[in-house]
Structure formats: C-alpha cells, structure tokens
C-alpha cells in the first residue's frame, strides 16, 4: 500500500522542482480548467527577500550508512533549524572531478544494468546520487532515513551505492521547498559556489478550491495544505500536512456529518489507512492517510451526470 501511495503522489504532487514542472505540464495538456489553487507567481522582490534570509547553516544534514528493509544502504538526514517549514527536501551528489576512467569503472555494472535508460553521450562521469522526500518538515523538525539512490541525468533507481562508489561522489546541490505564509518557494543551494538560487515560480498554499465538489467537503483547519481542482471533470485533490491520527479520525466524523455515509470502505495497513464514502447524490470522497509522514490526501469526485 505504501508503494501505491508513493506512486500516486509522484503523479499528482510535484516534488520540489520536478513536481512543480510536472504540475504545469499536466495542467497544460489535459484541457481542464483549474481554479488557480496552484497559481504561479513571479514576484521577484519577495523571492529575493527570502533568498537573503536563507542560511545553509540552518539546515544541518548528513549522508551516511543506515538500514532500509534490513539492507545496508546510504541514507540522508536533515534537521531544519530555520524559522521556515519545508514541504520537500532533495540532496544531490555528483562524481568528483579529475577521476580516471579506471576509478569510474566502479559504475560500469550500474551503467550496463540500466543501459536502456542511458542517453547518448552519458558516461560513468554523469552518474549521480539523490536522496529526496516530499515530507513536511516543520521549523525545528527533522526528516530522517531517506534513501540515497544511484541515478544518471533525471533518472534514478532505488539502488543504493556501494562504499567504493560513494567515496567517489561529492555533494552538488541541496533543494528545499520553503513555506513562507501562503506561498511555497523553491530554493537551491549550490555547494561549489556556496550560494542560494531561487526559482521565480511559486505555488499558492492554503487555498480551498471553489469547485462544487469542494463545497461539499469540510475543511481541515490549522494545517498547511496544497490543492488542485478541475471543474471540467468534477474532481479535486488536496494534500494536508502534519495531521495526527486523532485529527484524521475526527475528520472522518466530519465527513459523515456532511452526508458521506453510503458505501463506506476502509482499509488499515501498517503504515497507511484509506477511507472512502459517497453521499446520497453520488458525490465521492476518498482519504489516504500516511501514518509515518502524517500526511492526508483528500480526493473528491463529483457525481456523474447523464450527457
């Protein structure tokens, strides 16, 4: 179930820059009307102001050996000592400069294994490492045990490097998605130049959709959330962060009070829970709750009408 949730979020929710760009592509290609819940902004003054306030010393991180599913892997840990909440972190490594072909040969097996994904011109020198998580990391909070995986170009696999491979890599960039008020900013720290760069595009937060289906679904107040709503196909999707289990159960009761009491289905797994129901008019709501990340996905679908 956890893999299913992760796959679904990779399709719906953008993760740092990759997520933002994919959202733009989806909205541009589906022909759907969006209620501007993912409105982009290019307010240069606000972006520049935030850039000046970011200090790499506030983000205490490390990559070291750890365990995942009983296997020895490399993991990424970050403590957020800044005054800002984060909605995604991503550490990137590249091969060190000046390595000889003989040294880089430790990546030959990896290249052969994924040969069908290797683009023309890419070599062992282009192999990278990436550890990313779309977790909500509050100010003074932390994200831990994030798998660091081998990749090349924009592709990566859930394959941790060997010690010999890791020793040939060095950090290249830290990406963070920064919450400032009701806006999500995307910041990049370049380790070579020791400077921050900001993307001019931003995402609007905490705006409940105005679609018909959204009017039937109660708000979950007091939490940071991101939303998407497509009126033309009658759907909405909202990701709510830092929701504890008690709040999740209380929210289900609110949905029932709003009339979602028919065809109730609930599944409880080790790391996640799902709940769905319909109202008397055929409107449907589905919840997916990640117990570990304390993240709640609310998906609403309006009733189907005859053409």
Domain boundaries along the sequence of the chain? 2-38+206-301, 44-201
pLDDT (tens digit per residue) in 66-125? 999 899 999 999 999 999 999 999 999 999 999 999 999 999 999 999 999 999 999 999
- Helix or strand holding residue 94 (H, E): strand 85-95
Under the banding of pLDDT at 50, 70 and 90, the label for residue 231 is: low
Q: Which two tokens stand for residue 254?
A: 């609110």
- Nearest-angstrom CA–CA distance, 189 and 139: 18
What is the tens place of the pLDDT at every residue in 3-62? 444 444 444 333 334 444 333 333 233 333 344 444 444 467 788 899 999 999 999 999
Q: What pTM does this model have?
A: 0.80
Tens of pLDDT, residue by residue over 193-205, are: 999 999 999 999 9
Give the C-alpha separation, 254 to 246, whole Å.
13
* No. of helices (H) and no. of strands (E), the chain: 8, 17
More confident residue, 302 or 169: 169
pLDDT tens digit string along 269-301?
A: 999 999 999 999 999 999 999 998 999 999 999
Q: What is the pLDDT of residue 101?
A: 97
Cβ atoms 131, 63 nearer than 8 A:
yes
Helix (H) or strand (E) holding 66: strand 59-68
Sign of CA dihedral 208, 212, 215, 218: negative
CB contact at 8 A, 91 and 74? no
């Amino acid at each position: 179930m956890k893999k299913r949730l992760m796959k679904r979020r990779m399709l719906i929710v953008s993760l740092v820059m990759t997520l933002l760009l994919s959202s733009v592509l989806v909205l541009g290609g589906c022909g759907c009307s969006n209620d501007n819940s993912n409105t982009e902004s290019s307010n240069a003054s606000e972006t520049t102001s935030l850039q000046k306030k970011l200090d790499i010393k506030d983000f205490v991180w490390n990559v070291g050996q750890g365990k995942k599913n009983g296997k020895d892997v490399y993991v990424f840990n970050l403590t957020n000592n800044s005054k800002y909440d984060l909605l995604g972190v991503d550490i990137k490594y590249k091969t060190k400069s000046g390595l000889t072909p003989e040294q880089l040969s430790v990546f030959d097996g990896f290249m052969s294994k994924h040969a069908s994904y290797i683009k023309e011109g890419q070599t062992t020198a282009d192999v990278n490492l990436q550890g990313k998580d779309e977790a909500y990391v509050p100010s003074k909070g932390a994200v831990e045990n994030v798998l660091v995986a081998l990749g090349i170009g924009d592709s990566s696999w859930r394959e941790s490097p060997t010690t010999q491979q890791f020793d040939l890599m060095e950090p290249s960039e830290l990406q963070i998605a920064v919450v400032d008020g009701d806006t999500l900013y995307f910041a990049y720290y370049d380790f070579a130049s020791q400077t921050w760069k900001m993307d001019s595009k931003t995402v609007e937060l905490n705006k409940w959709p105005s679609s018909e289906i959204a009017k039937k679904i109660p708000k979950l107040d007091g939490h940071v959330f991101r939303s998407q709503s497509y009126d033309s196909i009658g759907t909405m999707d909202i990701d709510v962060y830092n929701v504890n289990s008690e709040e999740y159960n209380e929210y289900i009761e609110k949905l029932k009070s709003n009339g979602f009491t028919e065809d109730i289905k609930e599944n409880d797994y080790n790391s996640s829970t799902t709940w769905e129901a319909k109202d008397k008019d055929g409107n449907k709501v589905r919840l997916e709750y990640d117990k570990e990340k304390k993240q709640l996905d609310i998906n609403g679908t309006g009733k189907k009408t005859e053409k």
